[in-house]
Amino acid sequence: MENLQRSPPKNIIRVIIALYIIYGLIFLIETFDFLEMLHTKPKDFHPTYDLVNVIFYQMEMIICFICAFSFIILIANRQSVATWFFTTICLLLFRASTVYYLYFYETEERWVPFIYKDANDFSTLFRRTFVPAQLIGNGIAVIILSKWYFRDRKIAKNNLPEVGRS
């Protein structure tokens, strides 16, 4: 991992870590808002959500923290470019599939994704900012790491000793 100590891939992954942690903390605040509104309902107020909706927010928060801590562990340990590349691809696919399921997946039984509920006025703003930023940042990291990965493979391939030639 010596060659990635001070590099664009490591810098973009630091930005991705910040995006995941900030978004996870926003979900923590929204979870507290939802639970507070469920526990002590204001007069003449009936919430349009229940504890199941709050659990979906907690799932999204846990997913954000898992992704962030995965990247933190990756940065903290010396790893090869291949490990960085394949881990980043796996996390991008994992995050993209969870975003699809939590935000866009609809069936007859589940007519609206639970994650659309708003805890406060900033919910939609944060959602429309952080979710695409996480996916775009992850995609950029995959592109940069793929360039490094294939460059290292090409160098390794060119440095192989020729066998069978006299």
Which residue did the predictor score with more confidence, 82 or 161?
A: 82
Tell me the mean pLDDT in the region 120-149. Answer: 80
Q: What is the pLDDT of residue 100?
A: 82
pLDDT of residue 115: 52
Is 75 part of any domain? yes
Q: What is the pLDDT of residue 68?
A: 92
- Within 13 A of 60's CA, how many CA atoms are on the CB side? 31
Please indicate, yes or no, if residue 55 is contained in any of the structural domains. yes
Residue 163 covered by a domain: no
pLDDT digits (tens, 9 = 90+) for 74-132: 888 878 888 888 888 999 899 888 888 877 766 666 554 455 555 556 677 777 777 88
State the residue range of the domain holding 57.
7-156
pLDDT in tens, 29-80: 888 877 777 777 767 766 666 777 778 788 888 998 999 999 899 888 878 8
Q: Is residue 166 part of a domain?
A: no
Alpha helix ranges (H) inside the chain: 8-39, 51-76, 81-99, 123-158
Q: How confident is the model at residue 2 (pLDDT cuts 50, 70, 90)?
A: very low
pTM exceeds 0.85 for this model? no
pLDDT band at 4 (very low <50, low <70, confident <90, very high): low
Number of domains in the chain: 1
Q: Is residue 1 part of a domain?
A: no
3-state secondary structure of 60: helix
Report the pLDDT value the prediction gives residue 107, as an integer from 0 to 100. Answer: 64
pLDDT band of residue 1 (cuts 50, 70, 90) is very low
Q: Does any domain span residue 2?
A: no
Q: How confident is the model at residue 6 (pLDDT cuts 50, 70, 90)?
A: low
Q: What pLDDT score does 21 carry?
A: 92
Instruction: Tell me if 165 is assigned to some domain.
Output: no
97 within some domain: yes
Count CB atoms within 10 A of the CB of residue 26: 23
| Residues making up the chain, counted from first to last | 166
The residue type found at 62 is I
